[in-house]
Amino acid sequence: MIGNLLNILVGLWLAYSAIFANPAGAMNNAALAAAAIIVVVSAVWARQTDRMAWPSATNIVLGVVLLVVAALRWAIGVAPLVSFWIILLASIAVAIAAMWSMLYRPEMAQARASS
């Protein structure tokens, strides 16, 4: 649960940073790489207590995508607009998947259906 909360906060921070960078999407590569590593590590941590595996697996893949974007921006210089959309969509997906995993409890849904 703490790993999911951390992923929600990092996802929201990444979206904020992508939107308010000047120009949009031109955030610091080191900060992007650090956030991507935090997403992967906290998704692995959250996977140990999650009821379903797909949200943390999704966040691991999205964290790797963000890490690849940071490496590509450092190596060949990806355009800020392309970076903006990749970072924004990946970070929103990270936050949504982590929030889903944190809030969804299937045993509560089954209890409501049976009563």
pLDDT of residue 111: 63
Q: Report in angstroms the alpha-carbon separations of 22 from 28, 35, 39, 90.
A: 11, 19, 24, 19
Burial 18-46 (b: 16+ CB within 10 A, else e): beebeebbbbebeebbebbebbbebbebb
Structurally, how many domains does the chain consist of?
1
Give the residue numbers spanning the domain of 80: 2-114
pLDDT digit string, tens, across residues 39-70: 999 999 998 988 888 999 999 999 999 999 99
If pLDDT is split at 50, 70 and 90, which confidence band does 25 have?
A: confident
